[in-house]
């Protein structure tokens, strides 16, 4: 059985002169992210090549229907550290007016990552989450639920963690 998104599957079968009455299980259709984005655990990630300050990076993410990335689980943190390479990348962690860390989408930060310092925005360095002045240009990571998860339920985009950070 050929499994791809339905339109790709039909195009390939047409070109091959074949027909199929089989359908693919949902698991094969989950990887539905925009071109240039990477799918991981029900979310789409964009790793920038250019640099922007934190606010401009978040504005870019919003223009793409996403937000600067959150880190909710150990395996998600490991994925981002491995995929981003050596460069520093902004993530969606920032301080609010009460000097409390929150995620860029407004969700609560549960102190699962150690972030020490007085600066107001955070980025991923080679091995750590580091606070920084928000106006310094850095690469960035956007994330949003993939299309399958967006259609599946309204709580999509929150990675289900089996382990604590």
Please tell me the pTM assigned to this model: 0.74
Q: What is the pLDDT of residue 104?
A: 92
Domains of the chain, CATH where assigned: 1-30 (no CATH), 34-152 (3.10.100.10)
Tens-level pLDDT at each residue, the chain (165 residues): 333 445 444 443 444 445 555 544 444 444 589 999 999 988 999 999 999 999 999 999 999 999 999 998 888 999 999 999 999 999 999 999 888 899 998 888 876 677 888 899 999 999 889 999 999 999 999 999 886 555 555 454 455 565 555
> What is the signed CA dihedral for 85, 89, 95, 101, rounded to 10 degrees?
-20
> Helix, strand, or coil here: 151?
helix
């Amino acid at each position: 059985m050929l499994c791809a998104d339905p339109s790709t599957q039909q195009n390939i079968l047409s070109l091959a002169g074949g027909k199929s009455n089989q359908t693919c299980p949902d698991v094969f259709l989950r990887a539905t992210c925009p071109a240039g984005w990477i799918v991981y655990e029900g979310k789409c990630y964009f790793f920038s090549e250019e640099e922007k300050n934190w606010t401009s990076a978040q504005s870019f993410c919003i223009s793409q229907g996403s937000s600067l990335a959150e880190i909710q689980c150990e395996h998600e943190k490991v994925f981002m550290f491995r995929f981003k390479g050596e460069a520093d990348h902004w993530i969606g962690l920032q301080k609010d007016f009460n000097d409390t860390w929150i995620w860029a989408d407004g969700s609560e930060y549960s102190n699962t990552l150690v972030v020490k310092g007085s600066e107001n925005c955070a980025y991923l360095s080679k091995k750590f989450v580091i606070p920084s002045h928000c106006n310094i240009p850095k690469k960035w990571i956007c994330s949003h639920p993939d299309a399958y998860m967006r259609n599946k339920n309204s709580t999509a985009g929150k990675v289900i963690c089996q382990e604590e950070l």
